[in-house]
Amino acid sequence: MDGFYEELRETTKIKKILTGDMVRTKNQITNWFDRYFPEYAKVFKKWDKKTLLWIIKKYRFPILIAKLDPEEVYIEIKKDNAKGIGRKKIKEIIEAAKTSIGITEGLKSASIEFDYLISKYEKFTDDLINLDIYIQELIQDCDETSRVMEINGLGLNTAVGLISELGAISQYKSPKQLSKMAGLSLVEDSSGKKKGKRVISKRGRSNLRKLLYQCIVSMLSHNEEFQELYAYYTKRNMNPLTGKEAIVALMNKLLRIIHTLITKKVKYDPKKMLNDIRRQEGYFVVA
């Protein structure tokens, strides 16, 4: 199974790279629209709508779009078997083009730029779809992923990321080993203003630590149990934690839950999550 986890880890790395490339390309396309047809935003919330892209791919700039007949464009688009196309949006984008303040010089190079950017966007879209299909095939027999997804607020991508970083969780006797792997073990700070204070070691997988942090931040918006625990950690009478300390405590808490779900093969129980509130704890100790 070690080969499986390594394959999953490398695949998630590839997806992270592709996702970053996609974000940059989307930003570049947004910049292109802002320069040459900023009024599109009055009609479409996003530039990736089918109607807008069809029109821009064929007619490119407002100076040409403004001369179009809405009904003729609608018929033309329908011939291409495009779905989800509305007459109203076509008419509105043509009207917007008539009053555009977009750049009207250097349009040849601007057209080349658009072709280049949109081809990258479409390629990255296909690559991400194919990669997601491969990941689904890869994890179809992976019980760990489905168990992690039982936790409110954790989706497929997050679960896959956690499993790929943690590896064969059932091989670890204690969740403390997972905390150590993530660099969340407590050590005494021997320098600076924090001398003598216990802090996390950060001697572990930084990607895992970042992913756990992102999980907790997301779960504080979508998971009631974690919201309640966060409030308890930061507002309890004895030894209240700072916001950052509470997040680290919850990162450890999440690792303990994942370890229990997988090693004991039990269902996620929100009620047991709140055991911490019903008993006193020491600094950074989580149930």
Q: How many domains does the chain have?
A: 2
Instruction: Enter the pTM of the model.
Output: 0.79
Are 35 and 57 contained in the same domain? yes
Are 274 and 150 contained in the same domain? yes
> Domain residues for 233?
143-278
Query: What confidence score (pLDDT) does residue 162 get?
Result: 94
Which H or E run contains 217? helix 206-222
Query: What confidence score (pLDDT) does residue 280 get?
Result: 47
Are 196 and 76 contained in the same domain? no
CA angle 174, 176, 177 (to 5 degrees): 75
**Token pair 């006193």 is at which residue?**
280
Task: State whether residue 186 is helix, strand or coil.
Answer: strand
CATH number, domain of 128, equals 1.10.287.4070
Are 48 and 167 contained in the same domain? no
**Residue 283, in any domain of the structure:** no
Query: What confidence score (pLDDT) does residue 205 get?
Result: 85
* Residues 22 and 124: beta-carbon distance below 8 Å: yes
Task: Output the CA–CA distances (angstroms, integers) from residue 72 to 47, 62, 87, 100, 256, in the order listed.
Answer: 22, 17, 10, 21, 62
Are 256 and 131 contained in the same domain? no
Give, for all 287 residues of the chain, the pLDDT tens digit: 568 989 999 999 999 999 999 999 999 999 999 999 999 999 999 999 999 999 999 999 999 999 999 999 999 998 876 676 789 999 999 999 999 999 999 999 999 999 999 999 999 999 999 999 999 999 988 889 999 999 989 999 999 999 999 999 999 999 999 999 999 876 656 565 555 565 666 777 889 999 999 999 999 999 999 999 999 999 998 889 889 889 999 999 999 999 999 999 999 988 877 776 655 444 334 43
* Residues 122 and 53: beta-carbon distance below 8 Å: no
Burial of 206 (0-12, 13-18, 19+ CB in 10 A): exposed
Which H or E run contains 230? helix 224-235
Query: What confidence score (pLDDT) does residue 101 get?
Result: 98
Q: Which residues pair with 187 in a beta bridge?
A: 199
Query: What confidence score (pLDDT) does residue 203 get?
Result: 78
Are 50 and 123 contained in the same domain? yes
Structural domain ending residue among the three candidates 117, 138, 159:
138
Q: What gap in Å lies between CA 89 and CA 58, rounded to an integer?
A: 16
Query: What confidence score (pLDDT) does residue 187 get?
Result: 62
